[in-house]
Amino acid sequence: MTKIRAKLIRKEEAFTFIELLVVIAVLSILVAVAIPQIGSITKKAKLTEAQSAIGSIKTALELIYSEKESYLSADTGGSYKNSADLLADTDIDQYLDNISDNWKYNIVADADDYFIEVIGNGGSYPNSLKASITKGDDSIITTTKNTSP
């Protein structure tokens, strides 16, 4: 009787090979489904950051316009600038203390209109991440399509 009991106890303590394979298969499926979702969430968060940067620049542009009745002093000359150059080369620095280094900024402005575009600055912010707005638009356009400046 003790020999049977010992065999039963020993048998209940271990998992079978099939059980382990089933667990590994289920975990593999869960990981395969979760990883693309995490990448999508990360892109959305980065684009939200871009939208925030555009909102800050848009506010600064409106303050410049209220003072100078023109957006020209914020124009980047059609070139993309990093955050330090944007603040140094335009009048935006009077109304905006800092802005994210993760983006490159392009502001096309004339007396009465402007177009703001930001693209990723490289690394974990590739230039395929892009957001833009034109004066008078209600919403910011975002994309993750690969475009180069």
Instruction: Determine the Cα–Cα distance for residues 34 and 56; give it in Å rounded to an integer.
Output: 33
- Predicted model pTM: 0.74
Model confidence at 5, pLDDT cuts 50, 70, 90, reads low
Residue recorded with tokens 């994210």: 100
The DSSP call for residue 137 is: -
Q: What is the pLDDT of residues 83-94, one digit of tens each?
A: 999 999 999 999
Model confidence at 111, pLDDT cuts 50, 70, 90, reads very high
Q: What pLDDT score was predicted for residue 123?
A: 86
pLDDT at 147 over 80: no
CB distance 47 to 126 below 8 Å: no
